[in-house]
A and B are shown apart, each in its own frame.
Chain A
């Protein structure tokens, strides 16, 4: 899976065989002399939740940017279902089945909650659309929407709203809502894309513990429903342990450990990366 030594115990992840949903081979992203990501190789199997932990500046978000093609690679290869997409434009990734949330909340301020999420549902038109005619908005439907002052959310949007607990907020605008609720909208938008790989970049930043637990439960729900693979970047170690099947730890752009979450968290290299050598010696 990578050059990093996995932990000793066998996990369901290690037992998983078959073509990975996502595979990274020696991926590097350098900004001049700064090696933000430097030779990462990993593979993600469908139906599992993976996590990436690491201190600030360890390269987690840059890696997500590289996976989603928003950040160019210095070297390496990216494969989805075994096929390279390293030269694909970022807008093509939705067709593959990749959806993401961002480290900071990125909503469209002039669209209400339902329409923000609909932006995600719009993207699924070319790949296994289940909305039927609702996904292909005709001129007639748009005219009807003009007259009625806004069409009803499509089934995909309604489902995403229900799953993220956003009922009642459909006609609110982002600036009227709390930070935690805005985070939910981001997640709902990504879910509305009907992804096969969901990348969540600090989805619970700014949330309290109860909210984090809800998001964690939501992720586990989604795992149980099918082959969705999820990759979670989080600082909240407890959430990673409670949520993830397998965790990668990064520092200075490299993988320093990987394996079952609890063992990775207790890995001396990981503790040192987070807290420093002296802190650990005196702990």
Chain B
């Protein structure tokens, strides 16, 4: 077991950072906010943490905390600017944000290391820290899917008018989605640079957006379980497909496309459907409310007056029958 752990340590680390990054896209998506800003925050968080360690010799946890704070604030500001957008327009705006971060990193001169990035980010970060941080974040996300907050997230995503009528401040929830996305993305990027000790523009490119989206589309967009499954599958799949050699990318693409077509709600959605099907089978049949079994009467008398109505029957034309 220990041998397996050390032999696959890099993949385990990639799974954890991939999971947190996937959550940075999934959390807003669960609130109906189609935003990829978490990927841009990943880049900002990685560079910020790297700079804090390199230039200020800051301890890892402090650097990660400050990086998360920075990306949360950036998420809030971004949300204030673009939260009114929706759907594809919002997605495009956040993709533009991600690409801008990449351009700034490339053209940041010695500050960001230019196209080669930053090296030698040596910190006191340990694997137990990484596990604990990931578990804390995962725990908070799980809590947000249950109880009052969970129900309200459903309402904000599925029906904003209904949500407002139920006393939910939709704008506040959408802004919270941007903040949470920023903080999660920042954490993922900061943790990644702590274990890799390097970060460059190529690490935060368009491919990262595709990876995050693939993880949650195939795993399932509506639950942390989907993000976990997606992160595990798409971190380990390239390694498992090494035996096919140069056809690896093609096979990877076929698997992703097939999953997207056959599992529109992701792998987690299949489990949800199976659970509901099983619950329906086990459930005692409930008699419909008594009124539902009553026959539908002829509605014409309501408009033209009943032929033998009660004393209270009144029509639009005929007065009291």
Is A90 a contact of B164 with CB atoms below 8 Å? yes
Given A90-B165, A110-B154, A142-B146, A211 and B315 touching (CB < 8 A)? no
Task: Tell me whether B110 is interfacial, beta carbon within 8 Å.
Answer: no
Is A210 a contact of B170 with CB atoms below 8 Å? no
Interface size class of A (residues with CB under 8 A): 35 or more
Is B292 a contact of A280 with CB atoms below 8 Å? no
Task: Tell me whether B124 is interfacial, beta carbon within 8 Å.
Answer: no
Interface size class of B (residues with CB under 8 A): 35 or more
Task: Tell me whether B100 is interfacial, beta carbon within 8 Å.
Answer: no
Given A119-B151, A173-B276, A238 and B165 touching (CB < 8 A)? no
Is A111 a contact of B297 with CB atoms below 8 Å? no
B268 to chain A, nearest CB (A): 12
Task: Tell me whether B288 is interfacial, beta carbon within 8 Å.
Answer: yes
Task: Tell me whether A181 is interfacial, beta carbon within 8 Å.
Answer: yes
Is B286 a contact of A168 with CB atoms below 8 Å? yes
A211 to chain B, nearest CB (A): 4
Residues on the B chain within 8 Å of A142, using CB: 143, 146-147
Is A181 a contact of B166 with CB atoms below 8 Å? no
Interface residues of B in 257-298 (CB under 8 A from A): 276, 279-280, 283-284, 286-292, 294-297
Q: B316's contact among A168, A193, A270, by CB below 8 Å, is which?
A: A270
Given A70-B161, A91-B169, A102-B162, A209 and B317 touching (CB < 8 A)? no
Residues on the A chain within 8 Å of B169, using CB: 89, 91
Task: Tell me whether A165 is interfacial, beta carbon within 8 Å.
Answer: yes
Task: Tell me whether A85 is interfacial, beta carbon within 8 Å.
Answer: no
Residues on the B chain within 8 Å of A283, using CB: 317
Residues on the B chain within 8 Å of A111, using CB: 151, 154
Measured in the bound complex, the distance between the Cα atoms of B146 and A141 in whole Å is 10
Stretch among A3-11, A93-101, A219-227 lining the B interface = A93-101
By a beta-carbon cutoff of 8 Å, the part of chain A in contact with chain B is 68, 70, 89-95, 99-100, 102, 106, 108-111, 115, 118-120, 122-123, 126, 137, 139, 141-143, 145-146, 151, 165-166, 168-169, 171-173, 176, 178, 180-181, 184, 189, 193, 207-211, 213-214, 236-238, 241-242, 262, 265-266, 270-271, 274-275, 280, 283
The 3 closest A-B pairs by CB, nearest first: A210-B294, A94-B167, A123-B167
